[in-house]
Structure 1
C-alpha cells in the first residue's frame, strides 16, 4: 500500500506538523476538524508538502528523519524544492 509523509502548515501561526498517511488530503480534513491534540490548537492547516513511499516502514523512517532535523529552514528548503534531505 502506498503511504505518504506529509507536512502541513498552520495558517494561524506558520507552525509545521509532519505525519504519515495513506491519504494525506483526507488526513488534512481530519486535522481541521474539532478534536483534541496538537493540531487542534493551530487550525486551520494547509498541506504544503508530501512524499510518496511504497511501504509504510519507509515512510515512517522518513518521518522520523524529518522530525529529527529540528530546523525550520531545512523544512522550508524541502517544501520549496531545494535538495534537502
Structure 2
C-alpha cells in the first residue's frame, strides 16, 4: 500500500506533496531536516493523507496534487483547517 501525503510548513508559505509506503518515517524525515528540499521549511503539519493499492495509482494522484489545480485544492483544504 502507498500513501500520498501533503504537508504544510508551520513557519512559511510552503506545501510539499509526496508519496511513501512508510509514512511515519517519511514525515519524520521532513520534520527532522533529512530532506534537502524541505529542510528550510520545517516544521510541518500534515494536511492530506490518501491510501492507494499500487505505486502507479499513488504516483498519478501525486502528480495531480503537484499541478496548479491540485495545489489550489490543497490551499483550500489548508484554509478550511481540514488537517490530519
Which residue number corresponds to residue 55 of structure 1?
A: 54
TM-score (norm: length of structure 2): 0.79
CA RMSD in angstroms comes to 2.2
Unaligned runs of 5+ in 2: none
Aligned structure 1 segments of 4 or more residues deviating by more than 2 angstroms: 69-73, 76-81
TM-score (norm: length of structure 1): 0.78
2:35 aligned with 1:46: no
2:32 aligned with 1:69: no
Distance, in Å, in 2 between the alignment partners of 1:24 and 1:16 is: 16
Within-5 A mapping of 1:1-85: 2-35=1-34, 37-69=36-68, 72-78=71-77
